[in-house]
Structure 1
Amino acid sequence: MSHTAHIRSHRKPRRSASTIAMRAGVAGGVLGTLAVAASGAANAAEPVTQTFEMPTLTGDLVAQIAQSADATQQAAADYQLRAERDAAAANAAKQAKADLAEAKQKAEAARKKAAEAARKAAAERASRDSARDTLSTSASGSTATQASTSTATGSAAAVIAFVKAQIGDAYVSGGTGPNSWDCSGLVQAAFKQVGIDLPRVSQDQSVAGTQVSLSNLQPGDILYWGSAGSAYHVAVYVGDGMFVGAQNPSTGVVMKPLSYDPPSGAVRML
């Protein structure tokens, strides 16, 4: 027996090749797993960038874009024009409605005015017809009565002489002589001859004296046409059923029978 037979060897026992290969495989698998895990973590942490290719602006594409812009602008202009036309039409309709309402009001006012004028004219005609009947009755009265209304004396004679002297003179609105007159200007001048100062216009002359009946006229009475206080014409009664007055521009100062234009009333100043 060798002297070293009982001394334990300090060498590690040798591993078999199969064991070493198995362990190397396991280690390789572990390392491969770790490498895959690390690669996945790295890929997860790194952001992904995508690249898009921008289209190239060709001449046709530019033209299409320009045409689209022009069409959009034209559509906007057309819309604005239609809106303005619609607004103008609405305003015109509103104005037409207001004008129609105003025209109706004016027409109604004119109708009422015409009706009132017709009513007044009818009343004046009725008054004249009544006066004509009265004058006809007076004309059929006694000779003594006619004589009493035909003879003018004193101041009445002077008034009658003056108006008869103006027969043939012209009628001029606002005329007060000496060769042209209007109706109230002639009457005023005639009574001025006897010291009576009459108002200037027919309306006032028709209420200047005492109202008398047309059936009881005397020479020198003032005849009026229309209503007392609103008369539109005056003349002087000269007797024998006649009057002298400045009638109108076509006749001038004339002497006419009462039946020619029957007066509405009379006032006596003398």
Structure 2
Amino acid sequence: MSHTAHIPSHRKPRRSAPKTALRAGVAGGVLSTIAVAGAAGPAQAEPVTQTIEMPTLTSGLSTSVAASAEATQQVALDLETQAHEDAAATSAAKAATKAKAEAVRKAEAKKKAEAAAKAKAEAALRASRSEARTTLSASGSTAVASSSSSSATGSAASVIAFVKAQVGDAYVSGGTGPNSWDCSGLVQAAFRTVGVDLPRVSQAQSTAGTQVSLSNLQPGDILYWGGAGSAYHVGVYVGGGQFVGAQNSSTGVVQRPLSYDPPSGAVRVL
């Protein structure tokens, strides 16, 4: 063995033959490609002049934007219109509620006023009847005394006799005898017996003669209930504070004291 065999060598290790050949081939191929490109380059190189046209979007975009703006404006107008309509409806509802409340208030006030007027009229009527009863009681006493000293004569006596003869007959609306009467039918028939032709109805009979005071009655005077010219009932004063009349369907023709149903006034025909 050599005396230097154990010392490592300072030379680079040799590459293997296959690797060296491969690298050389690759390098040579690259260089050849570059050379060919360099030779052909100046003759074939031309500038690229093709222009690519992009689609025009301006027209369609404008139409779309305009349509969108118009739709937005229409929506705004619709919302504004709806707001006005809602406000008008609210205002109308408030006005209707207020008007209804006012109408109810007026109706209630009118009802109260009518009730008060009715109560006042009824009170006045009661007072009037009470006064009439007092007057009739006094005049009745006077009439009784007068009747005791003198009785009806002539035509008045005939009228009184006729009405007294019908006491107990039936009351029938529109009745003119001989066995059923209404109030004015009885009075008309009684005066017809003495040749006096009276109107048929109570209203006209209450103004057929001279108005006399209830405190100055004479036998044969016509009594009426209600106003002169608007009376709803009539009868005949027979003296002694009594009258005869066809009252109603329940009582028929009756003789009663004046206090039983105080009349409103009287007329003298005889």
Scaled to the shorter chain, the TM-score interval is 0.5 to 0.7
The amino acid of 2:134's aligned partner reads D
Alignment of 1:1-270 (within 5 A): 25=38, 28-29=41-42, 31-32=44-45, 34-35=46-47, 37-38=48-49, 42=50, 44-45=51-52, 112-141=113-142, 145-147=146-148, 151-270=151-270
- Rounded to whole Å, the distance in 1 between the matches of 2:114 and 2:181 is 31
Change (3 A) 1:98 1:166: farther
Change (3 A) 1:229 1:154: same
- Rounded to whole Å, the distance in 1 between the matches of 2:260 and 2:116 is 27
- Rounded to whole Å, the distance in 1 between the matches of 2:103 and 2:174 is 37
- Rounded to whole Å, the distance in 2 between the matches of 1:140 and 1:241 is 7
- Rounded to whole Å, the distance in 2 between the matches of 1:47 and 1:132 is 121
Alpha-carbon RMSD: 3.7
The amino acid of 1:125's aligned partner reads R
Q: CA deviation at 1:178?
A: 2.4
Per-residue Cα deviation, 1:166-185 (whole angstroms, up to 9, x for no partner): 11112222222222222122
Runs (4 or more) in structure 1 with deviation over 6 Å come to: 96-107
- TM-score (norm. length: structure 2): 0.60
Q: CA deviation at 1:155?
A: 1.1
Listed as ranges, the gaps of 5+ residues in structure 1 are 1-21, 49-86
Change (3 A) 1:173 1:107: farther
Q: CA deviation at 1:99?
A: 8.3
Name the % identity.
Answer: 67
- TM-score (norm. length: structure 1): 0.60
Q: CA deviation at 1:142?
A: 8.6
Q: Partner residue of 2:18?
A: none
The amino acid of 2:172's aligned partner reads V
The amino acid of 1:226's aligned partner reads G
Q: CA deviation at 1:257?
A: 0.8
CA contact (8 A) 2:143 2:241 kept: no
- Rounded to whole Å, the distance in 1 between the matches of 2:108 and 2:249 is 33
Of 231-240 and 138-147, more deviation after overlay is shown by 138-147
2:237 alignment partner, SS class: strand
Q: CA deviation at 1:114?
A: 4.9
Per-residue Cα deviation, 1:85-135 (whole angstroms, up to 9, x for no partner): xx9xx99xx7x9988877776666665555544444433333322222222
